Amino acid sequence: MFGAYGHTGRFVVAELLERGYVPLLSGRDAGKLRALAAGVPGAEIRPAPVDDPAALDRALAGADAVINCAGPFALTAAPVIEAALRAGIPYVDVAAEIEANVDTFAHFADRAREAGAVIVPAMAFYGGLGDLLATAAMGDWTTADEATIAYGLSSWHPTEGTRAAGTVSRDRRAGRRVRYTEGRLEYHDGGSTLLKWHFPDPMGTREVVGEFTMADVVTIPSHLAIPEVRTHMATEAARDLAAPDTPAPAADDDEGRSDQTFLVDAVVRSGTSERRATASGRDIYAVTAPLAVEATHRILTGRTRTTGVASAGEIFDAPDFLRALAPHISVELPGS
């Protein structure tokens, strides 16, 4: 577990322990690792700066896989992937940064495929869940005209890591907006648009920020023949994220989850036909843990469909994976 002491990392550590795995706690800050290990009986800590390959090699020695929860992933993904390749173990991360995920596909696809390695980026609420839903909605279609992922979040209290990653991404794209259209990523200076999205009941029609682009525009087109991929965000959540004084998420139950709720609505259109898959649950950071851990478990038990760099919908059986996430999320799939 690299970045084990972060907000999301702590949820992942708890999920690993719940499922019987022994997490090796790693990250850049030895003091934070020691503090976390105090609450994890028998935990081993392995501090490792990302700019120290030897330290990363020591951190991964004897591990079966590495889960990277340490952002900004523009800084951490490549060094930890390199270490995973040297160690000959699978790599999973929870990156929501569009450019970091593009880099992972661009820089490691050939090497990972040739080595028979498994690298799964964006195995998280953003990127992974939307990809699984769109893949399940796609079903037996080989192509579609467009896919839209609408995020109905009740609120969004960003973590320190989310804010840091957002700053890195904005700097990399020079403040421009990004979208996936006509089969490619496009950067532009246009403003945002408010739309009405008809979510399934009980949420109903809500105002969303159109083309509030998330990592799904990287993961979905990486394996599905869909030239237009859009993501929309509930205006309440978008405003929370944009406000500099929105506090970090606060625990509201014994598991440390906040009171945030979500409904993710994935609609795939081919001509005049539409297929929909939805997922609902609580706390986008907490629900990333079962996504990342279930992915790691399936990789280690051989329940994968390919090797190399692959997104969730390509490497896993999407409907089966989504159903396995109960009771963390509730899903509605085509034909269910």
Q: What is the pLDDT of residues 267-307, one digit of tens each?
A: 999 999 999 999 999 999 999 999 999 999 999 999 999 99
Q: What is the pLDDT of residues 112-155, one digit of tens each?
A: 999 999 999 999 999 999 999 999 999 999 999 999 999 999 99
Does pLDDT of 96 surpass 80? yes
Q: How far is CA 325 from CA 4, 134, 281, 322, in A?
A: 22, 16, 11, 5
Distance (Å, rounded) from C-alpha 129 to C-alpha 70? 19
Distance (Å, whole) CA 8 – CA 318 = 23
Pairing verdict, β 273-282 and 261-270: antiparallel
Q: Look at the pTM and tell me if it is higher than 0.95.
A: yes
Q: Evaluate whether 268 touches 226 at the Cβ level (below 8 Å).
A: yes
Q: Which of 279, 233, 281 is nearest to 259 (CA)?
A: 281
pLDDT digits (tens, 9 = 90+) for 189-248: 988 899 999 999 989 999 999 999 999 999 999 999 999 999 999 999 999 999 999 999
The pLDDT value recorded for residue 42 is 86
